[in-house]
Amino acid sequence: MATVQTPRRISQWTLRLAAGQAAISAAIPLNASVGAVATAHLSGHEGMAGTSVGLALLSSVAALWVAGRVSDRHGRLPVLTAGLALITVGAIICALAIVTKSYPLLVLGTVVFGCGQGPAMMHRAAAADLYPLEQRAHGVGLVVSAGAIGSIIGPLLGSGLVLVAGVFSLNENAAPWFLVPITAITALILVRGIAVDPRDVARHLSDYFPGADDEPEHGEPRSRRELLQLKPARAAITASTLIQAAMVGVMGVTAVVLNKQGMGPAALGIFISAHYLGMFGLAAPLGRLADRAGRRRTLIAGILVTAVGSVGTSLLGHSIAILPFFFLLGLGWCASWVAGTTVLADVTTPQERGRLTAANDQIVALCGAAAVISAGFVLDRFGFPVVGITLAALLLIALIPVLRLREPTPGVYS
């Protein structure tokens, strides 16, 4: 079946998901910046700064365990709603903790924020439900690409709130946290405006795309373990996990290396912007590529591009010449994120998709955390080139299951 035109309702709902993704992408990074600084200050130990990200990450992994099952049983919208509500409450608690100078309250707020973080970022999984096989990756790519907007406007809005707080003699350190309720409530309004839950759209695709086949049913939904045994799912998760490890491992120590070379915040900002452009800016055309050339080829391209970015960044980490490699590091991640999410949707029914996507996000998050922590020790002992080359070598492991994957036509696996 060749779907020529996307129905207007589907386009509108995709736009809502994309705008919601942009809004939440503007808020999520606050914990890694403002939250880390507040943790170091309130705990009295600079070495505790990284615990804000760690706590949020572990809370997110735990929440995703529940979110996957809930989204399969009750739909994607309740999970997105709960995630957005939790990060709003968590952000308010964190702001109050800074005002009252309470470290225990900050820990509580960080945990609540983390519990909402994973579920709130599942917009791309909902987008996969809205499209038939032939257009699925493009739909996912459209939503992922909105993250570029959020990553640009987030810091600007946060800085604006700091200026406003200064004018009214309010606590400037707490002010950025109030960006989260603004963006989360905006995303919530957008998401709740979707008339039909994306899970139910997937179950009745022929009602929206004339001539499309409805999603197949397998009776009782398969367990998480059964789904993880599917070869296409294993290939996609392996690729996404190791690419995430390579990206965050290299990215996590690059700022330290550049800072030692005398580069200030302005220069670092340029590198980060190039990286985010690679991560989100080309997601939509990469989705088109996955629909036309196949998910397998897109995953292979993502692995190879990430490897080049990892090695190039680490070898040239002392100079501005790393800029294009930092971009490639994000671009490879984007290819795997779009194609990998689409593979997980291809091999599941609407009643299974949420739990498999959540399991993928859990594995990716844990391995990414392990990589960035390990990269710091490797950098200190062996140097930056060893970090990049080692992580690139690990990507060869991801190539094995992807190369073995057979995809006669895009989205169909033998």
CB atoms under 10 Å from CB of 381, counted, come to: 8
CA distance 121 to 27: 11
Instruction: Give residue 217's pLDDT band: very low, low, confident or very high (50, 70, 90).
Output: low
CB atoms under 10 Å from CB of 383, counted, come to: 13
pLDDT score of 334 more than 90: yes
Side-chain half-sphere of 201: how many Cα atoms within 13 Å?
24
Q: What kind of fold does domain 1-211 have according to CATH? A: Growth Hormone; Chain: A; (1.20.1250)
Mean pLDDT across the stretch 127-142? Answer: 93
The pair of structure tokens assigned to 170 is 């309010």
CA distance 221 to 68: 12
pLDDT score of 4 more than 70: no
Q: What is the pLDDT of residues 17-29, one digit of tens each?
A: 999 898 888 888 7
Could you give the angle at the alpha carbon of 121 between the alpha carbons of 271 and 30, nearest 5°? 50
The pair of structure tokens assigned to 316 is 């040239």
CA distance 170 to 162: 9
168-175: Cβ within 8 A, 24+ apart = 171/98, 171/99, 173/34, 173/37, 173/38, 173/41, 173/98, 174/94, 174/95, 174/96, 174/98, 174/99, 175/95
Q: What kind of fold does domain 224-404 have according to CATH? A: Growth Hormone; Chain: A; (1.20.1250)
Amino acid at 54: G
Q: What is the pLDDT of residues 174-189, one digit of tens each?
A: 888 888 898 899 999 9
Instruction: Give residue 275's pLDDT band: very low, low, confident or very high (50, 70, 90).
Output: confident
pLDDT score of 383 more than 50: yes
The pair of structure tokens assigned to 3 is 């779907």
Mean pLDDT across the stretch 266-270? Answer: 66
Q: What is the pLDDT of residues 28-85, one digit of tens each?
A: 878 777 887 788 888 887 657 667 777 888 899 899 999 999 999 999 999 999 999 9
Q: b vs e for 153-163, b when ≥16 Cβ sit within 10 Å of the residue's Cβ?
A: bbbebbeebbe
State the chain's mean pLDDT as an integer.
Answer: 88
Residue 78, pLDDT score = 95
Residue 344, pLDDT score = 96
Q: What is the pLDDT of residues 93-127, one digit of tens each?
A: 999 999 999 999 999 999 999 999 989 888 988 99
Q: In percent, how much of the chain has pLDDT > 90?
A: 56
Nearest alpha-carbon partner for 37 in 110, 86, 92, 108: 110
pLDDT score of 87 more than 80: yes
- Model's pTM, two decimal places? 0.86
Q: List residues bridging with 409 in a β-sheet.
A: 412
Q: What is the pLDDT of residues 335-353, one digit of tens each?
A: 999 999 999 999 999 999 9
CA dihedral 26, 298, 244, 78 (to 10 degrees): 50
CA distance 353 to 358: 9
Contact partners, residue 206, CB within 8 Å, separation at least 6: 212, 213, 214
Q: What is the pLDDT of residues 351-377, one digit of tens each?
A: 999 999 999 999 998 888 888 778 888
Instruction: Give residue 273's pLDDT band: very low, low, confident or very high (50, 70, 90).
Output: confident
Comparison of pLDDT for 411 and 148, the residue scoring more: 411
pLDDT score of 164 more than 60: yes
pLDDT score of 265 more than 60: no
Q: How far is CA 219 from CA 72, 225, 351, in A?
A: 14, 17, 10
Helix then strand then coil, % of the chain, to nearest 5? 80, 0, 20
Q: CATH topology of 1-211 equal to that of 224-404?
A: yes
Mean pLDDT across the stretch 304-333? Answer: 91
Phi-psi region of 349 (alpha: psi -120 to 50; beta: other; left: phi over 0): beta
Comparison of pLDDT for 194 and 38, the residue scoring more: 194
- Cβ burial, residue 126 (10 Å; 0-12/13-18/19+): buried
Q: List residues bridging with 412 in a β-sheet.
A: 409
Domain range list for the chain = 1-211, 224-404
Amino acid at 133: L
- Contact criterion met (CB below 8 Å) for 277 and 330: yes
Mean pLDDT across the stretch 312-332? Answer: 89
